[in-house]
Amino acid sequence: MEIDWKDQTRVDRLKFEMVSATNLNDVYGELEGVDLSGSALDAAYYTDLRTSGRLAVRGDGWVRGSRIRITHEVPEWNYSNVLGTYFVTADPASRHHGGWDYELNLESSLKGLSEDRLVRPWTIAKNAMALTAIRKCIGDARQPYDVSRARNAKLKTPQVIDSGTARIEALFTLSKLSNNRVDVRGNGTIVVAPYVLPASKAAKFRIDLEEPRGIAFDDLERESDWLSMPNVAAVSHKYSDTVKRNGKSETVQREINAYAQVSNGAHQSRAIRGYTITSFESLSELSPRTAARAQQIAKQNLNKDVKELVTWSLTTTYLPIWEGDVVELAVHDGMQAYRGVRKCLVKALTLDLQHMTMRLTLKETASGDEED
């Protein structure tokens, strides 16, 4: 059955289960006494742990040490979706009216790697397979994982990971070297899978601000960095050169400079904005050491700098989307430059568990990706 998420007559139900901290298939039972008014989940694409949350609980029903699994259900649709399975990393309690209230801090399975630090240096040889190292990194932390879809790659250079490094940092390094991304499934499994540029992803939903049965609230906000965008990109390379003068060798200091600038028609140009912002990079290496190569790098840097960062924030009723998903936002009024259908990455969200509303932060995919 195709689900109509614009149907606001549905009845949402949330199930809270206690799960073994070491075996995600071992469910102890449902957690009673959850106060939805003090409970919410967060997810963010550019954070290390990806998802977290907080749960208000009345009474002593939580089995200390167990994880919390939260499932969203719509009984009349036979719909069920696991939102997340979380470690409880703090459980402050207070006593009121003859009973105890708990505030459970929830963090994803990646928390199991964020505080687990290498007790000795880890050297990974050149030409070693990245996927083998990834498996070891997560497996030694005894966290559930799935790398069945992950890309593999030979490491082009040896990797020395210092003692004291958190396993999550090592995992991100190895994943980037093999062009993978780390995430977490709702059931608590850590997933390493091929990185996909957000602009290449298909949109899961269109949020139309003028849809008669629209799910969007009237609280849209927009931010842009166009007033702080560089309109000039400059590079400099300083180096020492040896010359002969009067039969003797001398060391002289030389410098190669280059710059590129936007056209006068660009909205961040000095002709329109009235001032210049220069992005400047000192190049430690330049190969070949020529002005043409420096000019090429300056143009490349400018191409990165001219991607305007546009983000939107709004509140919607619940949609089955998460950090990393892509949606379309249809904007019909306001400044002409920002009207139309905007393809956006779900950069961050907060899900209010009491009202099942989502505060979304959407980043336009045309703005590029910080993980490129």
Domains of the chain: 13-108 (2.40.10), 112-194 (3.55.50.10), 198-225+308-367 (2.40.30), 228-305 (no CATH)
Question: What is d(CA 221, CA 241) in angstroms, rounded to the nearest whole number?
Answer: 54
pLDDT at 251 exceeding the cut of 70:
yes
Residue type at position 134: I
Name the average pLDDT for the chain.
94
Nearest to 323 by CA among 347, 352, 351, 350: 347
At residue 352's C-alpha, the angle toward residues 349 and 355, to 5°, is 135
Residue type at position 77: W
Mean per-residue pLDDT for 166-171? 97
Give residues with Cβ within 8 angstroms of 186, minimum separation 6: 81, 82, 83, 84, 85
Please give the pLDDT value at position 146. Answer: 97
Mean per-residue pLDDT for 264-292? 93
Q: Is the peptide bond before 288 cis (omega within 30 degrees of 0)?
A: yes
- List pLDDT tens digits, range 297-319: 999 999 988 889 999 999 999 99
Mean per-residue pLDDT for 325-353? 96
**End-to-end C-alpha distance for the chain, whole angstroms:** 37
Task: Give the DSSP letter string of 3-17.
Answer: --TT-TT---EEEEE
pLDDT-based confidence at residue 180 (cuts at 50, 70, 90): very high
Nearest to 11 by CA among 81, 79, 83, 82: 79
pLDDT at 244 exceeding the cut of 90:
no
CB contact at 8 A, 71 and 15: yes
Mean per-residue pLDDT for 35-48? 97
Q: Which two tokens stand for residue 216?
A: 């969007």
- List pLDDT tens digits, range 47-98: 999 999 999 999 999 999 999 999 999 999 999 999 999 999 999 999 998 9
Please give the pLDDT value at position 1. Answer: 63
For the chain, helix (H) and strand (E) counts, in that order, are: 5, 22
pLDDT-based confidence at residue 250 (cuts at 50, 70, 90): confident
pLDDT at 255 exceeding the cut of 90:
yes
Q: Which two tokens stand for residue 61?
A: 């029903």
Give residues with Cβ within 8 angstroms of 253, minimum separation 6: 238, 239, 240, 241
pLDDT at 136 exceeding the cut of 90:
yes
Question: What percentage of the chain has pLDDT greater than the value 90?
Answer: 87
Please give the pLDDT value at position 242. Answer: 85
* 3-state secondary structure at position 210: coil
pLDDT at 40 exceeding the cut of 80:
yes
pLDDT at 371 exceeding the cut of 90:
no
Please give the pLDDT value at position 322. Answer: 98
- Partnered with residue 242 across adjacent β-strands are 251
pLDDT at 249 exceeding the cut of 90:
no
CB contact at 8 A, 91 and 102: yes
pLDDT-based confidence at residue 372 (cuts at 50, 70, 90): very low
Task: Give the DSSP letter string of 214-274.
Answer: --B-S--EEEE-GGG--SEEEEEEEEEEEEEETTEEEEEEEEEEEEEE--TTSTTSHHHHS
pLDDT at 368 exceeding the cut of 90:
no
Mean per-residue pLDDT for 252-261? 94
Task: Give the DSSP letter string of 75-114.
Answer: GGGTEEEEEEEEEEEE--EEEETTEEEEEEEEE-TTHHHH
* 3-state secondary structure at position 327: strand
- The structure tokens 């890309």 sit at 151
Supply the pTM of this predicted model: 0.90
Nearest to 132 by CA among 164, 114, 159: 159
Give residues with Cβ within 8 angstroms of 187, minimum separation 6: 24, 69, 82, 85
